[in-house]
Amino acid sequence: MIISFKEALQDAYRNKYAVGAFNCLSLENVMGAIQAAEELRSPIILQLAEVQFPYSPIALMAPIFIESAKKATVPVAVHLDHGQSFETCAKAIRLGFNSVMIDGSGLPLEENIRVSSAVVRMAKAFDVDVEAELGKVGDTGSGEGEGTGNASTADVFTDVEESARFIRQTGIDALAIAIGNLHGKYIATPRLNIQRLIEIKDRNNIPLVLHGGSGTSEEDFKACIHNGISKINVATAIQLGIAEEMQAYLGTISKPSYIEMKYKMVEATKQVVMKHILLFESNNRV
């Protein structure tokens, strides 16, 4: 069943767990993610980032996302991840996505507020929820991520007072923050600034989002979901899980079957998603 992004995150915020938001680039990803959510009775978010459009076109993926969400026996939200412009967000809404992220984090604060506010006004006219980002979630440089830069210096962290102003002036439903997290495959386990997270949570009453979830320690994940993080993005872990499964399969068989490979992609996705659902404590919530 389709659920609104806002409703899913508000329940997670109230009950101190996180909804997994999984970047699905294929039918096999969607099938595996839904199977995992249904088996563990967890809400889930299917999402696609704008940088992924060249190899997973949104116009082709949208019907798969939406029909899969409708037929699922657990709540599923359909979300645009890292929309880079007003026009991209509008396109996702036209295609049926019930929430969008406008990523103006690379812009000066005033411009980020202006662009995010415009998307909120447009989205609310269609009963669509909006996520935005403040601070700079960098990229590990692995080629797997969606951002740029790094998180080695404190000035990329989301500022507490700026977060309050940003939320107030834009009217967003969820805020993605930077607390030392990075997109992509980590070379070493990151150390997140949990104190900054707590300060942002205490200053605002809104679900917070962690991007760059792949590779974060279990300890930091738990600290995040118990202190205001209500949505965690997972992309790289799925890609790595499938790549490892394919490598193992192709290394043990002389005549590989394409159909068998498709089944293995579904199963690999399912296993990664199940692992994160349990980690995020969203199992048995529906």
Residues annotated as part of the active site: 81
In angstroms, the first-to-last Cα distance of the chain is: 11
As a whole number of angstroms, the distance between CA 154 and CA 151 comes to 7
Q: Which two tokens stand for residue 71?
A: 């037929």
- DSSP code per residue over 66-100: HHHHHH-SS-EEEEEEEE-SHHHHHHHHHTT-SEE
* Residue 112: exposure state from Cβ atoms within 10 A (0-12, 13-18, ≥19): buried
**29 burial type by CB count under 10 A (0-12 exposed, 13-18 middle, 19+ buried):** buried
Contact by Cβ (8 Å): 8, 31: no
Tell which phi-psi region holds residue 225, choosing left (phi > 0), alpha (psi between -120 and 50) or beta: alpha
Alpha helix locations (H) across the chain?
5-15, 27-40, 58-71, 86-94, 109-124, 160-170, 194-203, 218-225, 236-250, 258-280
* Most distant CA pair in the chain, distance: 60
Output the CA angle 158-162-168, nearest 5 degrees: 120
CA 129, 131, 104, 160 dihedral sign is positive
Residue 3: which H helix or E strand, with range?
none
